[in-house]
């Protein structure tokens, strides 16, 4: 049974002086709980993927020097999903369907924590808005438009897809 995490803020507990202390991300708590459930159910792949995901979260926490917020965990999840998507494409291109299937299974587990992706019309609208806001008319303005769109989308779009759309609009 696969449960989907819900988005909530950090949990709190009563401190020794009566005040409340932030004890950490509820997303991390949910990941830990799912890892425990997967261990009890004997789901080795799920346990391994969740451990890798927690490792990526801890690595990012060490980089930033603080415990990640739920939004920052979503960014890490988005990066992990992107890595696996790229691996799937590479493995399928090389005819390694068994490895592509393994990467796909891993991606399907992690995607629950990644931000929802925008649909095609929403991406098209963002690209149009980016071109209008930046006054882009040539390919030399592509970086401005990309920066605008990626900043507005906040991890909800694939950069390659945006790049193709911007390139098509500025080339026309």
Tell me the CATH number at 74: 1.10.1510.10
Q: What is the pLDDT of residue 25?
A: 61
Q: What is the pLDDT of residue 57?
A: 95
Query: Considering the domain boundaries, does residue 30 fall inside one?
Result: yes
Residues 129 and 165 both lie in one domain: yes
Residues 22 and 88 both lie in one domain: yes
Query: Quick check: 76 and 56 in contact, CB under 8 A?
Result: yes
Residues 40 and 108 both lie in one domain: yes
Residues 95 and 61 both lie in one domain: yes
**Final residue of a domain: which of 64, 87, 113?**
113
CATH of the domain at 133: 1.10.10.410
Two tokens, residue 140: 């030399």
Residues 89 and 159 both lie in one domain: no
**Final residue of a domain: which of 113, 139, 156?**
113
Query: Quick check: 73 and 25 in contact, CB under 8 A?
Result: yes
Residues 126 and 103 both lie in one domain: no
- Give the helix, strand, coil percentages of the chain, each rounded to 5: 70, 5, 25
Residues 29 and 77 both lie in one domain: yes
Tens of pLDDT, residue by residue over 1-44, are: 444 444 444 444 444 444 434 445 688 999 999 999 999 999 99
**Final residue of a domain: which of 86, 113, 140?**
113
pTM: 0.70
Tens of pLDDT, residue by residue over 46-85, are: 999 999 999 999 999 999 999 999 889 999 999 999 999 9
Of the two residues 38 and 151, the one the predictor is more confident about is 38
> Checking DSSP bridges between strand 11-14 and strand 20-24, what pairing results, if any?
antiparallel
Q: What does the pLDDT average to over 141-153?
A: 88
Q: What does the pLDDT average to over 143-157?
A: 86
Query: Considering the domain boundaries, does residue 5 fall inside one?
Result: no
Query: Considering the domain boundaries, does residue 137 fall inside one?
Result: yes
Query: Considering the domain boundaries, does residue 1 fall inside one?
Result: no
How far apart (Å, rounded) are the C-alpha atoms in residues 70 and 24?
A: 9
Instruction: Indicate whether 172 pLDDT > 70.
Output: no
Of the two residues 20 and 104, the one the predictor is more confident about is 104
**How far are the Cα atoms of 133, 158, 159, 160 from residue 170, in angstroms, in the given order?**
14, 19, 16, 15
Structural domain boundaries, residue 159 = 120-171
Residues 80 and 35 both lie in one domain: yes
């Amino acid at each position: 049974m696969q449960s989907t995490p819900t988005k909530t803020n950090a949990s709190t507990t009563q401190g020794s002086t009566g005040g409340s202390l932030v004890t950490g991300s509820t997303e991390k708590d949910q990941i830990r709980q799912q890892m425990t459930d997967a261990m009890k159910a004997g789901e080795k792949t799920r346990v391994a993927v969740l451990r890798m995901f927690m490792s990526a979260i801890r690595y990012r926490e060490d980089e930033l020097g603080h415990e990640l917020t739920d939004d920052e965990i979503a960014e890490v999840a988005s990066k992990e999903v992107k890595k696996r998507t790229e691996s799937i494409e590479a493995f399928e291109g090389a005819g390694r369907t068994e490895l592509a299937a393994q990467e796909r299974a891993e991606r399907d587990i992690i995607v629950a924590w990644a931000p929802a992706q925008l649909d095609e019309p929403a991406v098209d609208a963002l690209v149009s808005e980016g071109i209008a806001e930046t006054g882009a008319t040539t390919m030399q303005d592509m970086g401005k438009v990309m920066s605008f769109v990626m900043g507005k989308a906040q991890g909800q779009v694939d950069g390659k897809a945006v790049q193709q759309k911007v390139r098509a609009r500025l080339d026309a």
